[in-house]
Chains A and B, each alone.
Chain A
Amino acid sequence: MAILNFKKRQIECKIVYYGPGRSGKTTNMEYVYRTYTKQVTGDMVSIDTEGDRTLFFDFLPMGLGEIKGFDVKVQVYTVPGQVQYRSTRKLVLKGVDAVIFVADSLAVRREKNMLSLKDLQHNLKEYGISIFKIPLVMQHNKRDLVSEALPIMSLEQMEKDLNRQLKVPSFPASALTGKGVGATLKECLKLTLVSLKKEMKLE
C-alpha cells in the first residue's frame, strides 16, 4: 500500500520485479537505471556477491511527477529468485503496490516460471493481497535467444502457462538489449497510478 505523507505532500509506492532466478530481473533494472535518467532519482543499489546472484535485493528510486499536488516517488525492487531465499522474497514484497513478473523464455525454465508465479500468489496472499487484484504486468524475457536455435518457448505457450487465468498485460522483451523493458515498466506505472488515484478518491 502506498504511503501518503501529507506534510511533505508525497506519495511513496513500491514496485517489485518478481520471477524465477536468472530470468533477468536485475538486467531489467540495470537497463532502466541506465536509460531513464530523468525519472531515476538516485543510485541503483544492489549486492553482487559470489557468483553475482542477487542474494538480497536490488533497489532503485524513481520519481513520477505529480498527482493532485502530490510528488509521486517510486521505490523499485527486485527479489532474489533462488528457492532458498524465500523469506527475503517475502520481506521485499511487504507493502508492494505493483508487480512486474519476469518470466524466462528458455524451455528449461518452464516449470520454474510457473512455480515462481505460484510463490508470488502465495506470498501476496500472506499479506492479504489477491494476485487478481494487484496491478500486475507480465514480461516474457530473453526473446533474443530465439535466433540462437535454443529450445525457447513460444509466446502462446508462455501465455497459456502463465497468463491464462490472470489475463494481465504482457510484453515480449530482451532485457539484455532493452527491448520491451520500457514498455513493461510504463504499463506497470500506469496501472499503479490508476490504482493510486482510485485509492485517493476513496479517502
Chain B
Amino acid sequence: MSVVKKIKALLKEAEMYHSQGLLYEAMAKYNDATELVQKSDQLKDKPALIGGISKKINTLKKDISRIELAPKKPEMSTNIQDLIKKMSLFSPDLDEDAKALDAAVTLAKFGQFKRAISEFNTLLKKDSTRIPAAKNILRCHIALYSSNDAVAQYQTWLSEDAFHPDQLDKLRIFLENQLKREGVEKTLPKTKDQIIEISAEASAEADEEHVPAPEITDEEHHEPAAESEDVLDVNSLGITVDDGPQKGNVYEFKVRFQLGKVVSLLIPSREKDVVENFKVGSEIHNVQYYTNVGLFNGSGLVAAVKEITIGPLRGDFCVDIEVVVH
C-alpha cells in the first residue's frame, strides 16, 4: 500500500471511531497518521496535510474535554424523577400538600436535589408546609453545593423578610445545627442589619475592635430549643433487637432524611434480615437516637417499609420510623 493510501485508511478509521464516540481510539489513529506524514519523504505538501489533521485533532480534543468535564452525578431525567416521586411513601390520609411535601422529600432522598428544591419552593407558599419545605431546601443546598450556599439562602430569606421572625428563628437554629453536623461552627445573623456586620466580621477575621450587636432578649421570646413539630435532627440511630432469633443484636443505621418526627433509613438488600424486624405499625423499643447535641433513648413507630423496585437502589429497603421521645 502506498503511503498516501495508508494515511487515507488511517484517517477514515479515525473518523469512523470518532463518529462512534470511540474518542481515544480515534485520537490514536490521527496520531498514527500524523507520524506517518512526518516520516515520509515522498509527500509533497506535508505542512498542509499535518495542518489538516491537527484541525481534526482539535475538534476531537474538544469532544473529549466536553465529556471529561461533564458532571459525574447528573440529575436524572424528568421521567425517572416522576417515577421516583411515585415511590414516595405517603399514606392515603395525608392532604394534598403533605403528599406533595412527601414526594419532594423522596426526590431528595434519591439525590435529585435540584428538582426537589424547585418543588420545595412551591411548597414554601403554603402555610402548612412552609417550615418543613424551607428546612429541606437548606438541607438540599448543603448536600448539593456547600454549607455556604445554605447560608446564602438563609440570608436571602432574611433580607427579603420572607418569613415571620419566629419562623426565621427556627430556620436559623436549624441551619446552625446542620452546619455543626458538617463541622462548621458559625453564628448566623438574626436580623437584616446583622447580615452586613457578620460578613464584615468574617472578612476582618478576629477583629478585636468589633463590637458585637447587642443581644436583645425579650422575656416572652426565647429560643425554641427543639421545635415542637420537629424533634432534634437525628444523624443515626441504634436499634437493639429485643425479640425473635436476632434478639440482642444491635444495628446502627444512618438517617438518610428526616421530615419532622419521621426519619428515613435506607437498608441495603444484603441486610434484608434486619428488615423483618420492622413491621408497619409496630413499635420498636430500645432505640438510641444520635443527634448533634448528644444521644437520647426512645422508641420508634414503624411508619412505612418499602422495597425499592426501580432504579439503582432496586432491592434496597426504605424504612420510615417515627421518633417517639420518652
Using a CB–CB cutoff of 8 Å, the interface residues on chain A facing chain B are 3, 12, 14, 21-22, 43, 45-47, 49-53, 55-57, 59, 75, 84, 88, 91-92, 94-95, 106, 108-109, 145, 148-151
Contact = CB atoms under 8 A, between A and B. Distances in A.
A155 B117 CA distance: 51
Contacts of B79: 43, 45
B15 to A, nearest CB: 11
A108 B309 CA distance: 38
Given A55-B74, A150-B16, A94 B315 contact: yes
A45 B25 contact: no
30 contacts: A22-B20, A22-B22, A45-B79, A45-B80, A47-B77, A49-B70, A49-B71, A50-B67, A51-B67, A53-B21, A55-B70, A56-B80, A59-B80, A59-B310, A75-B310, A84-B72, A88-B312, A91-B312, A91-B314, A94-B269, A94-B312, A95-B314, A106-B25, A108-B22, A108-B25, A108-B28, A145-B16, A148-B16, A149-B9, A150-B13
Given A45-B83, A106-B22, A56 B66 contact: no
Contacts of A57: 312
B35 interface: no
Closest 5 CB pairs of A and B: A91-B312, A50-B70, A51-B67, A95-B315, A45-B79
Interface residues of B, number: 31
B118 to A, nearest CB: 18
Contacts of B74: 47, 49, 55-56
A185 B80 CA distance: 24
A22 B70 contact: no
A40 to B, nearest CB: 14
A43 B309 CA distance: 17
Contacts of B83: 45
Contacts of B25: 106, 108-109
Contacts of B63: 51
Contact of A3 (B70, B76, B309): B309
Contacts of A94: 269, 312, 314-315
Given A56-B74, A108-B25, 6 more contacts: A43-B79, A53-B67, A91-B312, A106-B17, A106-B25, A109-B25
B77 A46 contact: yes
Contacts of A95: 269, 314-315
Given A95-B315, A106-B22, A151-B13, A45 B77 contact: yes
Residue of A22, A92, A148 most packed against chain B (CB within 10 A): A22
Nearest to B307: A3
B76 A108 contact: no
Contacts of B314: 14, 91, 94-95
A84 B71 CA distance: 13
Interface in B260-279: 269
